[in-house]
Amino acid sequence: MPSRITRYFLNQAFIKAKLDEYLAQNFYEAEYAGVEVAQTSLGTTIRIYANRPALIIGRRGATIRRLQAVFEQVFGLPNPRIRVDQPPDPELNARIQAFRIVRSIERGYHFRRVAFAALRRIMAAGALGVEIKISGKLTSERARFEKYRAGKVYKAGHKVDELVDRAVAYARLPKGVIGVEVIIVRPGKPGDYIRIKSPEEVKDVVEKIRAELEAAGEKAVTAKTLEEHMEAARPVEGEEAEE
């Protein structure tokens, strides 16, 4: 049987998951991105991230007041205080991009045009890679899927936890539901990217080491010096390879 502390944290995670699902279903047009919940001595602080916060705040705060009543009466949160902020880097947020694609498809734009536009926009924002998968009754009564990819997309390993942001959204059309999955690889320093130093860079490093040895009074090239030369000429991890 879980302890009281374990039950407390499980309950907090369950409440956050329910809030996240509720907000995603009702405010995807506001490009909802996520929610944070914190219990304090004065009540519950709820921080909602959306790229179009005005749609969540409402006219003169009417929508916020309705949300406060829902959070208190339906979800059982004491004295909820809501704050709405824009997320950092919305162009690299998978959930925002998925909701944008869904809204465009629901408005009648062709799914391929929408997908390629989102692909170019995300890569222009500095993403290392992006994959967009659209599935459903796209062009006929038979369901299928199409996948669009640019850059490098990680599917396994610890790089998924470090760099990858994934989101799923659904477009509700008269002919059926179309699913949209967006995977974005955020900018970082992946270990499998290397940059080969140019001969000029290697020469500068060698001259610097030689000057340091001469200043220290070492005239002969020793085995340790050769190791330093070899170490300086090795590729540098964390950057893209240059041809």
Say what the pLDDT of residue 4 is: 81
Q: Which domains does the chain have, with CATH numbers?
A: 4-85 (3.30.300.20), 90-185 (3.30.1140.32), 194-237 (no CATH)
Question: What would the DSSP string read from start to end of 23-66?
Answer: HHHH-GGGTEEEEEEEEETTEEEEEEEESSTHHHH-GGGHHHHH
Say what the pLDDT of residue 243 is: 41
- Cβ–Cβ < 8 Å for 182, 94: yes
Say what the pLDDT of residue 167 is: 92
**In degrees rounded to 5, what are phi and psi of residue 45?**
-100, 120
Question: What would the DSSP string read from start to end of the chain?
Answer: ---HHHHHHHHHHHHHHHHHHHHHHH-GGGTEEEEEEEEETTEEEEEEEESSTHHHH-GGGHHHHHHHHHHHHTS--SSEEEEEEPPS-GGG-HHHHHHHHHHHHHTT--HHHHHHHHHHHHHHTT-SEEEEEEEESSSSSS-EEEEEEEE----SSHHHHHHEEEEEEEEEETTEEEEEEEEEE-S---TT-EEPPPHHHHHHHHHHHHHHHHHTT--S--HHHHHHHHHHHSPEETS----
CA distance 20 to 4: 24
216 Cβ contact partners less than 8 Å away, ≥ 6 residues apart: none
155 Cβ contact partners less than 8 Å away, ≥ 6 residues apart: none
pLDDT at 213 over 80: no
Say what the pLDDT of residue 242 is: 43
Interval 141-152 mean pLDDT = 89
Say what the pLDDT of residue 179 is: 93
Say what the pLDDT of residue 121 is: 93
% of the chain residues with pLDDT over 70: 85
Say what the pLDDT of residue 233 is: 56
How do residues 171-212 score in pLDDT, each as one tens digit? 988 888 999 999 999 887 666 666 777 888 888 888 887 787
Say what the pLDDT of residue 240 is: 46
Closest alpha carbon to 78 in 41, 48, 35: 41
Say what the pLDDT of residue 230 is: 55
How do residues 8-38 score in pLDDT, each as one tens digit? 888 888 888 999 899 988 888 888 888 998 8
How do residues 73-93 score in pLDDT, each as one tens digit? 888 888 888 999 888 888 999
pLDDT at 239 over 60: no
Closest alpha carbon to 152 in 98, 191, 198, 101: 191
Say what the pLDDT of residue 183 is: 94
Structure tokens at 9: 């944290």
State pTM to two decimals: 0.70
Say what the pLDDT of residue 229 is: 55
Interval 128-136 mean pLDDT = 93
pLDDT top residue among 41 and 238: 41
pLDDT category, 214, cuts 50, 70, 90? confident
pLDDT at 135 over 90: yes
How do residues 45-60 score in pLDDT, each as one tens digit? 899 999 888 888 888 8
